[in-house]
A and B are shown apart, each in its own frame.
Chain A
């Protein structure tokens, strides 16, 4: 179920919220768990069993870790491996068998190719399941794990499909007292509407343009069109994903749960390293805390540090999708971050003009590999950008005025203008009224948008 869909907005959310409010507090956890499972099963049907399996594995592992004196390490590793098996099987098996098939066919061997369905959000819920195991392993003395607590942590519908990835130790203490106060509810509602508007009014509008640009092939692509495509895709991706995050944070708040921020204006970053501290923060910090640091981080010498960096970024690329262009995506990120680390002094001394051009180069390489569907297409886009050529299909011929307007709004809102405006207004009551009116207008505009029903799911649902 998509948060911006009418079924969610006018059926699922109001009913679940109302019943939750009517129920005695003791019954709420169980009810929210049932609602979350229904939310997942609505779109994925029987594949909800995979999530239940992940929940059971994590719960049993955590129980064993908490009760056994010895063998904690073994149980934790076992639980993590089982979750990874789920992830690898359903997310990467088709890719691996496809590549093997292609390779072995050169030797006249017909290796079978699997055709498994990729369950929505599997990358998110398995990472959360792993987080629960690692957190309990690291702190086995914490309050005893419960099945409902673990299940709700892994399946909580606001962040189930596309994050943010919430840590077990951050989530569990909150479910003991899920009170919703008026101020929190209004904040959550406002945040949800902002996210809805980001998704429906900006990301969906730009998606239509990108669909037109990214079907162009070599010969049809000019420098300006290809470059425009990358920039517009960068905007679409940010407003799509950060819009979803805003909705997730807002929804969770309306149920009395705080979930962490996932974005901090990534496009004001001056280096790739800074970008990864501002973009999809919950994934970056998850990878840092659960992979990079356990591998030794930067404590085992220079060579090992760079090795670790490359491993985590290539894994990060693969986490986004099972295809070679996502591996390239990870390599680009690893290369830029390593270079910055190697020439730290140089990068620190550079001015704003250098940073702008440097980050544009980074976005071209990063999004060029992310949005295209094959390495060949990635190459076509990069060649069109780096070898100046006229555009047979000019960018302006591909966009109407609403799309220009959405692009312009996006180009402004990637900067922290809104918090600056808020801080500069002395009259807080007046600003609160302004925010309320703005939220109403954005809500009205978003739900009356024609693309609601047929809108594509959020980009990060795939991961």
Chain B
């Protein structure tokens, strides 16, 4: 064994040796991390700790990610609109049809069929989930149990990273082809995130296939981006750093970092503007297209009442890059719910933010996505509301006819 000192650089040779050792250390670490790379679709399965998903759920999620990646560029834009949709594809985990959403080819509507289209983001499409665990599938099964006479079918119109503005544009573009009787719009995590980042509740126009770059409106640093995009170690370090910063806030028992005054003001204002937008959409679809329209506020992790320790960390996920984001979410949702509760809107707005209140186990496997159990809870609650809505309408129709 050499007995010389390693911490004393005496010559160029010893400096070169030290540098080589350091490079070898990073190279070996990079190699090791790549060995276990699960692949990613925007959200990284490799960051999910043991015990959040069962072995079967994790295996199915990995298969889903692999299948989705195998498609390559999976989105196609619709010219002169903000809309994009999926390219047709068939894999072991899912089918993307030629209309551009998850599910088998769209069939001509049968007589007596009541068709519901649920629009939303990756949580509606059921990214990483088996078809049977997706929200639209569970809603369909439940409504068929509750209303066997209605011949209900539910279309899964979820598309990754969608927000309300795109959902509305998609509905306007494809409502005739889809032949739906009811649209369900899911307002959720992307809307809040876009609203925070852009300072506006409208999404920005879609460009090419570069979806995920478009989502990050932050100024880029080309050196750090180069490292993060090319080296897994750099990506892991970045994520770890962001989480450490967020956990620092968490440890101090605060809900969020300080929100800047401009966003603070916006968080209070935007409810009114958003409700106006919803009202215009509902008016157009209800009256011009004769399609019933409902809006759902789907739960986000920041709003979960009894968070597991993992969810507490997740709820601070954006804090470092978006200081005050947690506060923004609470204020925005609170103001939306407050306005909605005043009533008088020409549409139904269902607040699902508290649907996880009775649960203290982990229902989010990453910052955005529900575990299969979480997805089921949201879906069953949605089905219950849809049933009540349809049932009330049915009763009203009967009452009108009997008169």
A and B associate in one complex: yes
Spell out A's residues near B (CB within 8 Å). 1, 5-7, 9-11, 14, 18, 20-22, 42-45, 115, 117, 120, 179-183, 185-186, 204-205, 208-209, 211-212, 215, 256, 400, 402-403, 440, 443-445, 447-456
A455 touches B49 (CB 8 A): yes
Q: Check if B48 is an interface residue, CB within 8 A of chain A.
A: yes
* Shortest Cβ distance from A189 into B: residue: B25
The answer on a CB contact under 8 Å between B50 and A181 is no
List the B residue with the shortest CB-CB distance to A180. B7
Alpha-carbon gap, A9 to B28, bound state (A): 13
Interface residues in B233-271 by Cβ distance below 8 A to A read 233, 236-237, 239-241, 243-244, 247-248, 251-253
**Beta-carbon contact of B244 and A5 below 8 Å:** yes
Q: Which residue of chain A has its CB nearest to the CB of B37?
A: A448
Check A453 against B239 for contact (C-beta < 8 Å): yes
Question: Chain B 291-326, CB within 8 Å of chain A: the 1/0 string?
Answer: 000000000000000000110010000000000000
Give the shortest distance, in Å, between B53 (CB) and chain A (any CB). Answer: 11
Given contacts A440-B28, A444-B35, A453-B240, contact A181 B253 (CB under 8 A): no
B222 interface contact, C-beta 8 A: no
Residue from A1, A20, A451 within 8 A of B7 (CB atoms): A20
How far is B18's CA from A42's CA once the two chains are assembled, in angstroms? 27
The reply on B4 being an interface residue by CB < 8 A is yes
B273 to chain A, nearest CB (A): 36
The reply to whether A456 and B309 form a contact with Cβ atoms under 8 Å apart is yes
Asked whether A444 and B50 contact (CB < 8 A) given A42-B244, A45-B248, the answer is: no
Partner of B9, one of A10, A22, A117: A22
Determine the distance from Cα of A182 to Cα of B5 in the docked complex, in whole angstroms. 6
A181 touching B3, Cβ below 8 Å: yes
Bound-state Cα–Cα, A43 to B3, Å: 37
Residue of B nearest to A25 (CB): B8
Asked whether A183 and B3 contact (CB < 8 A) given A10-B26, A454-B243, the answer is yes
Cβ-defined contact, B244 with A14, below 8 A: no
Contact indicator B237/A451 (Cβ below 8 Å): no
Q: Which residues of A contact B47 (CB under 8 A)?
A: 450, 453-454
User: What residues of chain B lie closer than 8 Å to A183, measured between beta carbons?
Assistant: 1-3
Contact check, B28 vs A117: say whether CB atoms are below 8 A apart: no
Provide the residues of chain B in CB contact with A14, threshold 8 Å.
22, 25-26
Residues in B whose Cβ lies below 8 Å from that of A456: 309
Whether B233 lies near A6 (C-beta < 8 A) is yes
Q: Chain B's interface: helix, strand, loop or mixed, by majority? A: helix
Interface SS, A side: helix
Q: Tell whether B343 is near chain A: CB-to-CB under 8 Å.
A: no
- Alpha-carbon distance A7/B243, docked complex (angstroms): 10
Provided the pairs A21-B6, A117-B253, A450-B36 are in contact, do residues A44 and B240 lie with their beta carbons within 8 angstroms? no
Decide if B48 touches A450 in the complex (CB within 8 Å): yes
Q: Which of B6, B240, B251 contacts A181 (CB 8 A)?
A: B6
Apart from A43-B247, A450-B47, what 7 extra A-B contacts exist at CB < 8 Å? Answer: A6-B233, A7-B240, A182-B5, A443-B32, A447-B29, A452-B236, A455-B49
Question: Shortest Cβ distance from A163 into chain B, in angstroms?
Answer: 20
A450 close to B49 (CB less than 8 A): yes
Beta-carbon contact of A449 and B36 below 8 Å: yes
Determine whether the beta carbon of B55 is less than 8 Å from that of A453: no
Contacts of A402 in B (CB 8 A): 50
User: How many whole Å from A162's CB to the nearest CB in chain B?
Assistant: 15
Which residues of B sit under 8 angstroms from A212, Cβ to Cβ? 51
- Asked if A21 and B310 sit within 8 Å, CB to CB, the answer is no
A44 x B248 contact (CB < 8 A): yes
Number of B interface residues in the complex (CB < 8 A):
46
The 4 closest A-B pairs by CB, nearest first: A208-B51, A448-B36, A444-B32, A180-B7
Q: Is B109 an interface residue (CB 8 A)?
A: no
- Given known pairs A11-B237, A208-B50, the reply for A182 and B28 (CB within 8 Å) is no
Closest CB in chain B relative to A172 CB, distance in Å: 20
State whether A444 and B28 are in contact (beta carbons under 8 Å apart), knowing that A6-B240, A7-B237, A10-B233 are contacts in the complex. yes
Q: Which of B33-53 contact A (CB under 8 A)?
A: 33, 35-36, 38, 45-51
| B35 closest partner in A (C-beta) | A448
A18 (CB) vs chain B CBs: closest residue:
B22
- Which has the most chain A C-beta neighbours within 10 Å: B49, B236, B239? B49
Chain A nearest CB: distance from B247 CB in Å?
Answer: 8
Question: Contacts A208-B51, A211-B51: A453 and B248 contacting too (C-beta < 8 A)?
Answer: no
Contact B313 A454 (CB under 8 A): yes
Q: A450-B50, A453-B236 are in contact. Are A21 and B29 (CB under 8 A)?
A: no
Q: Which A residues are CB-close (under 8 A) to B49?
A: 204, 208, 450-451, 454-455
Closest to B244 in A: A7
Name the CB-closest residue of B to A209. B51
B residues near A6, Cβ cutoff 8 Å: 233, 236-237, 239-240
Question: How far apart sit A121 and B245, CA to CA, in the bound complex (Å)?
Answer: 18
> A1-B244, A5-B244, A14-B25 are known contacts. Are A180 and B6 too (CB-CB below 8 A)?
yes
Using CB atoms, name the residue of chain A closest to B26: A10
- Given A7-B240, A448-B36, A453-B239; A443-B28 close (CB under 8 Å): yes
B310 touches A43 (CB 8 A): no
CB distance from A283 to the nearest CB of B (A): 23
Q: What are 16 sample pairs from A and B whose C-beta atoms fall under 8 A apart? A: A6-B237, A7-B237, A7-B244, A14-B26, A18-B22, A42-B244, A43-B247, A179-B5, A182-B4, A182-B5, A400-B50, A400-B55, A403-B50, A448-B32, A453-B243, A454-B47
Q: How far is the CA of A149 from the CA of B214 in the complex (A)?
A: 52
Contact between B236 and A117, CB atoms less than 8 A apart: no
- Chain A residue with the shortest CB-CB distance to B14: A21
Cβ of B361: which chain A residues have Cβ within 8 Å of it?
A: 215
Question: Least Cβ distance of B246 to chain A in Å?
Answer: 11
Closest chain-A Cβ to B135's Cβ sits at a distance in Å of 25
Within B165-215, the residues touching A (CB, 8 Å) are none
By a CB distance below 8 angstroms, the chain A residues around B309 are 456
Chain A residue at minimum C-beta to C-beta distance from B309: A456
Cβ contact within 8 Å between A185 and B239 = no
Give chain B residues whose Cβ lies under 8 Å from the Cβ of A256.
Answer: 7
Is B29's CB under 8 angstroms from A452's CB?
no
Complex CA distance for A432 and B319, rounded to whole angstroms: 46
Chain A nearest CB: distance from B102 CB in Å? Answer: 27
B50 & A10 in contact (Cβ 8 Å cutoff): no
Specify which chain A residues have a CB less than 8 angstroms from the CB of B241 in the assembled complex.
Answer: 7, 11
**What is the CA–CA distance of A7 and B32 in the complex, to the nearest angstrom?**
16
Assembly CA distance A180 to B7 (angstroms)? 6
Among A5, A115, A209, find the residue whose CB has the most chain B CB atoms closer than 10 A.
A5
**What residue in chain B is nearest A183 (Cβ atoms)?**
B1
- Are A185 and B22 within 8 A (Cβ)? no
Instruction: Contacts A5-B240, A7-B240, A14-B22 given; indicate if A450 touches B46 (C-beta within 8 A).
Output: yes
Q: How far is the CA of A43 from the CA of B246 in the complex (A)?
A: 10
Taking CB atoms, residues of chain B closer than 8 Å to A42 are 244
Q: In chain A, what residue has the closest Cβ to B314? A: A454
- The listed residue (A21, A43, A208, A452) touching B8 by CB distance below 8 A is A21
Chain A residue, CB-CB nearest to B234? A10
Chain B nearest CB from A88 CB (Å) reads 20
Docked-complex contact B251 and A117, CB < 8 angstroms: yes
Are A10 and B4 touching (Cβ within 8 A)?
Answer: no
Contacts of B310 in A (CB 8 A): 454
